[in-house]
Amino acid sequence: MSPNRSTGATSTHRTDLYSLGVTLYQMVTGEKPFRGETPMDVLLKHMSEQAVPVRKLRPEIPEDLATSSSASWRRTPSCATSRPRSFAEDLAQILSGEKPQVLAAMEDAV
């Protein structure tokens, strides 16, 4: 569950993208981004901590895929993938060997 759902906020496409991004993180790392004793512990970590970077867990993962797998669930909106189509396009670009748009946007934000 995305952190905003825990507060009773309305679900949007960004809620789904958050969940998809966490799932992709787990797929490429084999690890959950946060662990805790209870579901509430995990939720609080989602709201307040940064996950271990993908490449720290799996250095063999290409940088573009590592960045895209976490961009959709960043808490900073300017650094998050905001549209499902953008997320899908980024993944397609990675598969074809191109630089995904999310990297360009993140570079601009930094």
Tens digit of pLDDT for each residue in 61-110?
A: 888 777 777 766 665 544 455 566 777 777 777 777 776 665 555 555 44
Q: Are 72 and 33 in contact (CB under 8 A)?
A: no
Domains and CATH numbers, the chain: 3-109 (1.10.510.10)
Q: Give the three-class secondary structure for 58.
A: coil
* Tokens standing for residue 39: 């579901």
Q: Are 93 and 85 in contact (CB under 8 A)?
A: no
Per-residue confidence (pLDDT) for residue 30, from 0 to 100: 92
Residue 20's H or E segment, with its range, is: helix 13-29
